[in-house]
Copies of this chain bind each other. A is one copy, B any other.
Amino acid sequence: MDAISALAALDTPAAIIDLPRMQRNILRMQQRMDALGVRLRPHVKTSKCTPVTRAQLAAGAQGVTVSTLKEAAQFFSDGDTDILYAVGMAPARLPQALALRRQGCDLKLITDSVDAAAAIAEFGRAHGEVFEVWIEIDTDGDRSGIKPEQPELLELGRVLHDGGMLLGGVMTHAGTSYELDTHEALVALAEQERAGCVRAAERLRAAGLPCRAVSVGSTPTALAAMRLDGVTEVRAGVYVFFDLVMHNIGVCGTGDIALSVLTTVIGHQVEKGWAIVDAGWMAMSRDRGTEKQKRDYGFGQVCASDGTVLDGYLLSGTNQEHGILSREGSPDADIARRFPVGTQLRILPIHACATGAQFPAYQALAADGGLTAWSRLHGW
């Protein structure tokens, strides 16, 4: 069966993974990390999907990064033991972390808070558990973390180490890479991310504190980094699918985007040049991440059902289960003949993590047109 026939049998909207593209994306990142001499610890928050993660590990990734303890439990039950929970630990979740460790999960926690570190150490001692904790470092002012030169870095390290926990390393995420769109700027930010995280590790070590892991990453900086001296591992998530935000940043082509939403035309507003489709924000997410980038793709780029980009046709508006499909610039007076009711189209997403999250399962489309439903996690 060819791909178009396979897709024709699906109810819409459906989240389609183009498996050859996904596999190419996985190999590209893995080969790059291999060449730079660092481990790749994929962030599975993008897919939250076991077979996708299996493919990343099969290609050479080591360990996973998760954004919730529910993901940790899921991937541990899949047999992954080396799991980094990369959101600052809330002390109220320590019983969940303890339960996972007691089952044999080598779960690593992070924090940038002296108070949280003290709570982790106290809880660990009370339960006879040595939690492994990494310190979150702020290398670009994006969100969380302690700056490499901040005095609190050593204080936090001592609270953990002297408190009997395993100070396992430092980690950072240069999230401002999402605001860039030139190779030179990405190279510079990647070096800033690397240097800042390595500097934090050096300060800890110079103070006599252990710091085995030096973990950096975001998809754009991972793909731009020229060297990663002193770094032990890279974390990246969205590279597995890519999306239009990544395309605008300049780290992929539209032909690399492995996730798309299959949709059906359900009506038209001919005088406006609109086709109405059944992919609204419930399917695409409300993400408007390209709005302030160099090219605004609205809620997504329209493609034929075989994946061919239909240049200039965008999902320009969304309600819950309705999408408005239109041509940029001048309205297409021929829209109803071009895309009759019942036509299937595919929409490339603005933000793959957010779009995927709207679906209970992906439909994995193989090169031979074979389709397999791959479930994904939902909720916390």
Using CB atoms and an 8 Å cutoff, list the residues of chain A in contact with chain B: 11-14, 45, 67-68, 87-93, 96, 111-113, 115-116, 119, 136, 138, 143-144, 175, 264-269, 276, 278, 281-282, 285-288, 317, 319-322, 324, 340-342, 351, 353-354, 357-361, 378-380
A96 partner residues in chain B, CB cutoff 8 A: 11
Given A111-B267, A264-B92, A278-B87, the answer on whether A321 and B378 have CB atoms closer than 8 Å is no
Could you tell me the distance in whole angstroms from the C-beta of A204 to the nearest C-beta in chain B? 18
Given A116-B341, A286-B285, A380-B13, the answer on whether A276 and B88 have CB atoms closer than 8 Å is yes
A10's nearest neighbour on chain B, judged by CB, is B92
A12 partner residues in chain B, CB cutoff 8 A: 90, 92, 380
Cα A91 to Cα B13 in complex, Å, equals 14
B361 in contact with A67 (CB, 8 Å): no
A319 in contact with B143 (CB, 8 Å): yes
Q: Which of B14, B269, B320 contacts A67 (CB 8 A)?
A: B320
A91 partner residues in chain B, CB cutoff 8 A: 341-342
A265's nearest neighbour on chain B, judged by CB, is B90
A13 partner residues in chain B, CB cutoff 8 A: 380
Could you tell me the distance in whole angstroms from the C-beta of A16 to the nearest C-beta in chain B? 14
A321 partner residues in chain B, CB cutoff 8 A: 45, 67-68, 87
Cα A321 to Cα B90 in complex, Å, equals 12
The 8 closest A-B pairs by CB, nearest first: A88-B266, A360-B379, A286-B286, A286-B287, A67-B321, A88-B267, A115-B341, A90-B264
